[in-house]
Amino acid sequence: DIQMTQSPSTLSASVGDRVTITCRASQSIDNWLAWYQQKPGKAPKVLIYKAATLESGVPSRFSGSGSGPEFTLTISSLQPDDFATYYCQQYDSSPYTFGQGTKLEIK
Amino acid sequence: QVQLVESGGGVVQPGRSLRLSCAASGFSFSNYGMHWARQAPGKGLEWVAVISFDGNKKYYADSVKGRFTISRDNSMNTLYLQMDSLRGEDTAMYFCASSAVEFLTGSYLGYWGQGALVTVSS
């Protein structure tokens, strides 16, 4: 099975900061990687797919990059609505594993 | 608009069974692979299972293989998860979600339901 390792687990930042979250795959997944945002008590919402493609309706301050095995999610200028937990997921092969999550907190 | 509504959650004793349902509307359900994912209280997301658009292919996480069965009824626009031999570690919020790409089983998850809580406890 492919393991997805996300870092950091927690990130403290301020409004306006640029932040980066990293996800590393244990084997090749080409670019079959998605990023999700989840807020407390809510279902996850997809932000990025195929490593770098922005989902429709997602603000352009979110961007994804990288290719196997390391990928990054960058938020260029944090907004108050962005404080949430972020997950990567590989969908190259079953089981379609998630990373363990990164909680983005207000500093 | 797209809606996925889970039902069937509740409290169940270890070793017993439970069946979750996910009613879909607002999209061509029979064209999309469907997934279950779960989230234990205070923990991260765990992918559980997927079924192809036509029901012919099914894949499971190792943690549920042999105990859980995913199925679908395209005439009823409904996805199911039969959970047998439940354990304490199966306690979680269970989400159904659609593949984002038509006819593809291996796809990122586009639409999600709000979840059904399953608690396994004696």
Q: Is the confidence at residue A54, as pLDDT, over 80? A: yes
pLDDT at A67: 84
The CA-based dihedral angle spanning residues A93, A96, A97, A103, taken in that order and rounded to the nearest 10 degrees: 130
What is the percent of chain A with per-residue pLDDT over 90, rounded to a whole number?
A: 96
Cβ–Cβ contacts within 10 Å for residue A61, how many?
13
pLDDT at A68: 75
Pairing verdict, β B116-120 and B10-12: parallel
Q: From CA A90, how far away is CA B73, in angstroms rounded?
A: 27
- Strand locations in chain B (E): 3-7, 10-12, 18-25, 34-39, 45-51, 58-60, 68-73, 78-83, 92-99, 109-112, 116-120
Q: From CA A49, how far away is CA A34, in angstroms rounded?
A: 4
Q: Which of A58, A11, A51, A19 is nearest to A35 (CA)?
A: A51
Q: From CA A69, how far away is CA B66, in angstroms rounded?
A: 31
Token pair, residue B7, equals 């039902």
CA-based nearest distance B112→chain A, Å: 6
- pLDDT one-digit tens code per residue, A71-93: 999 999 999 999 999 999 999 99
pLDDT at A41: 95
pLDDT at A107: 87
Tell me, yes or no, if B94 comes closer than 8 A to chain A by beta carbon: no
Average pLDDT, chain A: 96
- Contacting residues of A for B106, CB less than 8 Å apart: 32, 91-94, 96
pLDDT at B29: 98
- Contacting residues of B for A94, CB less than 8 Å apart: 50, 59, 106
Residues in chain B predicted with pLDDT less than 50, given as ranges, are none
